[in-house]
Structure 1
Amino acid sequence: MMLNIQNLIDDAKCYDTIRELRWPEGVRCVHCHAAAVTKRRCCGPTAAFRRRACRCT
């Protein structure tokens, strides 16, 4: 995948790009690899920084 530098300058776009690289088929739990993850609280100024959780954690 080619990276566009413009997608790394803006924080929200950077997080989206990293998620796409880390989970190209969608976000999964890092512990059990389940696709059924839920959004948790924000850890930054916008919803782009929202953390996700699985029932196994």
Structure 2
Amino acid sequence: MHLTSWKARRAGGRITINGKDEQGKDAKIVGVDVIEPRIFNGVPGIYATDKNGDVHRLMAA
């Protein structure tokens, strides 16, 4: 999932990120363990990895 206009907040021991998905609809990623700048599949960016190991790209604006 790609999120724009996102905001991250601590929720217990993990992080919850709220934002807009690719279609502009409200979306939420729960159980995030880490947010970091890195290269994923050859694409540099800011990525969040959740408790299941799924990687989500966080976009500006």
Flag the structure with more relative contact order, 1 or 2, with Cα contacts below 8 A and sequence separation at least 6: 2
Question: Which of the pair is proportionally richer in strand?
Answer: 2
Q: Same fold (TM over 0.5)?
A: no
Judging by fraction of residues, say which structure has more helix: 1
Higher Rg:
1
TM-score (norm 1): 0.31
